[in-house]
Amino acid sequence: MRRVFELASLRKDARALKSPRQWGERQAIQSRCDRARAREKDLYASRYLSRVEQTRRRLIDEAAQKSFDLKPAWAEHDRFDAAATLRQAQREVREAHHQRIARIDDFESQKLRELVQRSMRENNWRGKAREEFGRVTDRRSGIERRGRRNRPRQR
Give the confidence band of 131 by pLDDT, cuts at 50, 70, 90: confident
pLDDT of residue 95: 97
Euclidean distance between CA atoms 142 and 25, whole angstroms: 48
- Is residue 148 predicted with pLDDT exceeding 60? no
Indicate the pTM of the whole model: 0.66
Q: Is residue 80 situated within a structural domain?
A: yes
Could you give the 3-state DSSP secondary structure of residue 125? Answer: coil
Q: Is residue 141 situated within a structural domain?
A: no
Q: Is residue 106 situated within a structural domain?
A: yes
Q: Is residue 131 situated within a structural domain?
A: no
Q: Is residue 61 situated within a structural domain?
A: yes
- Is residue 140 predicted with pLDDT exceeding 60? yes
Euclidean distance between CA atoms 58 and 102, whole angstroms: 24
Could you give the 3-state DSSP secondary structure of residue 72? Answer: coil
Averaged over 71-95, what is the pLDDT?
A: 82
pLDDT of residue 56: 95
pLDDT of residue 20: 82
Q: Is residue 51 situated within a structural domain?
A: yes
Tell me which residue range forms the domain holding 61. Answer: 1-7+47-67+74-124
**Would you give the DSSP letter of residue 105?**
H
Pick from 2, 28, 1: which is nearest to 14 by CA? 28
Please provide the DSSP assignment of 38-81 as one string.
HHHHHHHHHHHHHHHHHHHHHHHHHHHSPP-SS--GGGSPP---
Averaged over 100-115, what is the pLDDT?
A: 92
Q: What percent of the chain is modeled with pLDDT above 90? A: 36
Q: Is residue 110 situated within a structural domain?
A: yes
Give the confidence band of 122 by pLDDT, cuts at 50, 70, 90: confident
Q: Is residue 151 situated within a structural domain?
A: no
- For 5, 20, 26, 100, the CA distances from 8, given in Å and listed in that order, are 5, 21, 14, 18
Q: Check: CB of residue 119 under 8 Å from CB of residue 22.
A: yes
Identity of the residue numbered 130: R
Angle between helices 20-64 and 82-124 (to 10 degrees): 160
- For 7, 62, 73, 81, the CA distances from 76, given in Å and listed in that order, are 49, 16, 6, 14
The number of domains in the chain is: 1
Each residue of 29-49: b (16+ CB within 10 Å) or e? beeebeebeeeeeeebeeeee
Give the confidence band of 88 by pLDDT, cuts at 50, 70, 90: very high
Mean residue pLDDT of the chain comes to 81
